[in-house]
Amino acid sequence: KEGIPTHYVQEINDRDTFVKKVEIVPLEVIIRNVAAGHFTLRMGVPEGTEFKTPILEFSYKNDDLHDPFINHYYALALGLATQEEIDTITKYAFKINEVLKKILLDANIRLIDFKVEFGRLSDGTIILADEISPDTCRFWDATTGAHLDKDLFRRNLGGEADAYQEVMKRLLG
C-alpha cells in the first residue's frame, strides 16, 4: 500500500508463509533513528541520543567475517549490488522507516533502529525480502522507554516473550 514491493504472498499458518523467490542482495541494510547497540559502541554516543536525521548503514552479509560494516563503494567494488540497486534499496529503506515509525508511534512504540534485506526477482526487480519483528528492530515504549525487542534477550534481562506479545497486541489489537 505504501509503494514498497515485498516478497510477501500469503500467510499459510502461524509458522509458514508463502513468499516470492528472490536472490538475496548480500547486504544488511540498517536504519537508525536513535543511538543504540553497535552504534553506541562504535561512536561513543550515549544510548538514546536522537539523531538529527536517520542514518542508513550497510553490512556485508558474511557470517565468517561477522557481517562487517561497509559503505556503498565497497558494495559496488565487490559487485554486491549495482548503483541503481543501491539507489532503490536506499529509497525503500528510508520509506520503510517513515511508514514503520508512524504505525509504531500510533501503538505508543518508538522505532529506534531496524535491519532489512532486499532481494532480486528473476527479472532483476528489487523487493523487500525480510521479516520485520522485535528480532530485527529495536522498539522502545514511547512513554516509559522500556525495551520491547530482542535486546531483552541479548542483554539477558528476561521478559522477551511478554514484550513480543505486547508489541503484537498493540499492533494487531
Positions that interact with ligand TMP (CB under 6 A) = 30, 36-39, 67, 113-115, 136-138
Q: Is the dihedral of CA 150, 137, 129, 126 positive or negative?
A: negative
DSSP one-letter code for 131: -
What residue number has its CB nearest to ligand TMP? 37
Burial of 6 (0-12, 13-18, 19+ CB in 10 A): middle
**Nearest approach, Cβ of residue 150 and ligand TMP (Å):** 7
**Nearest approach, Cβ of residue 154 and ligand TMP (Å):** 8
Q: Which is nearer to ligand TMP, 85 or 113 (CB)?
A: 113
Q: Which is nearer to ligand TMP, 113 or 166 (CB)?
A: 113
Q: Where are the beta strands (DSSP E) in 35-134?
A: 50-60, 69-70, 109-116, 118-120, 126-128
Identify how many contiguous H helices and E strands the chain contains and give both numbers: 5, 10
Q: Which is nearer to ligand TMP, 5 or 37 (CB)?
A: 37
**Nearest approach, Cβ of residue 30 and ligand TMP (Å):** 5
Instruction: Give dist(CA 100, CA 42) in Å, integer.
Output: 26
Q: Is the dihedral of CA 1, 55, 89, 37 positive or negative?
A: negative
Q: Which is nearer to ligand TMP, 36 or 129 (CB)?
A: 36
**Nearest approach, Cβ of residue 45 and ligand TMP (Å):** 12
Q: Which is nearer to ligand TMP, 37 or 54 (CB)?
A: 37
**Nearest approach, Cβ of residue 72 and ligand TMP (Å):** 17
Q: Which is nearer to ligand TMP, 125 or 171 (CB)?
A: 171
Which residues fall within 8 angstroms of residue 38, CB to CB, at 6 or more apart?
none
**Nearest approach, Cβ of residue 26 and ligand TMP (Å):** 13
